[in-house]
Amino acid sequence: YGLSDINILLNNTSFMPEDDKCIKNEIYKNNKTIDSINEVNDLQTETFSFDFQPDLNYHPGPSPSILLQALTTANAIDGYDLERLETIGDSFLKYAVTAYLYCTHNNVHEGILSDLRSNHVSNLNLYRLGKLKMFGERMISTKFEPRSNWLPPCYIGPHKLEKAVINSNISITQHITNDKSIADCVEALI
């Protein structure tokens, strides 16, 4: 195509419908849609309350895949881990604890509020809470290698062998999860 061919194509191509009635109908439809959206927004604004507690009896809860991700450390090398969820959970936890302390301790100095918040969101406190819920036992913190660290379901070995394996630090049935990983898991689950 030459420059003159492009000009001919542009001059003979219509980007707008010829019929003004069609354009007016589209504008009318769009305005009706916008009006209905505004009505829904107005209704939601009138009925919204921070004190509203939804009925969670029939809520399915979080997705199992999200829970698995929150229980998997980066050491497992699984293609997913708790790092992203931990970041969100950490931020939300700090915000929620800060707002709670600010609202419940009206006349307390901000330095003391900061110390209180630090105690609540510390890794030690989160580790203790995670330990109470036995998160360490449910976490996936080692790479899955069937030949070296896996036993088939319902496998029961001799009791003496089980004790010897635990004492020898061979990770067939047991693995060590450090305190920080359990605290990170708690943040990811938040």
Give the residue carrying structure tokens 């100095």.
Answer: 109
Same-domain status, 87 and 22: no
Residue of 21 and 4 predicted with greater confidence: 4
Within-domain flag for 41: yes
- What pLDDT is stored for residue 90 in this prediction? 94
Within-domain flag for 36: yes
The total number of structural domains that make up the chain: 2
Q: Cα 63 vs. chain centroid, distance in angstroms?
A: 10
Domain that holds residue 18: 3-47
**Is residue 178 within 8 Å of 72, Cβ to Cβ?**
no
- What pLDDT is stored for residue 94 in this prediction? 94
Strand partners, 140: 72
Q: Average model confidence (pLDDT) for the chain?
A: 75
Segment 98-143, tens digit of pLDDT: 999 988 888 889 899 999 999 999 999 999 999 998 888 888 877 7
Give the residue carrying structure tokens 């898991």.
Answer: 185
Within-domain flag for 13: yes
Compute the distance between CA of residue 190 and CA of residue 188 in angstroms, rounded to an integer: 5
Within-domain flag for 156: no
pTM above 0.85, yes or no: no
Segment 9-37, tens digit of pLDDT: 555 544 444 544 444 444 444 455 445 54
The enclosing domain of 139 has a CATH number of 1.10.1520.10
Distances (CA, A) of 59 to 2, 47, 55, 56, 156: 64, 21, 8, 5, 38
- What pLDDT is stored for residue 36 in this prediction? 52
- What pLDDT is stored for residue 116 in this prediction? 93
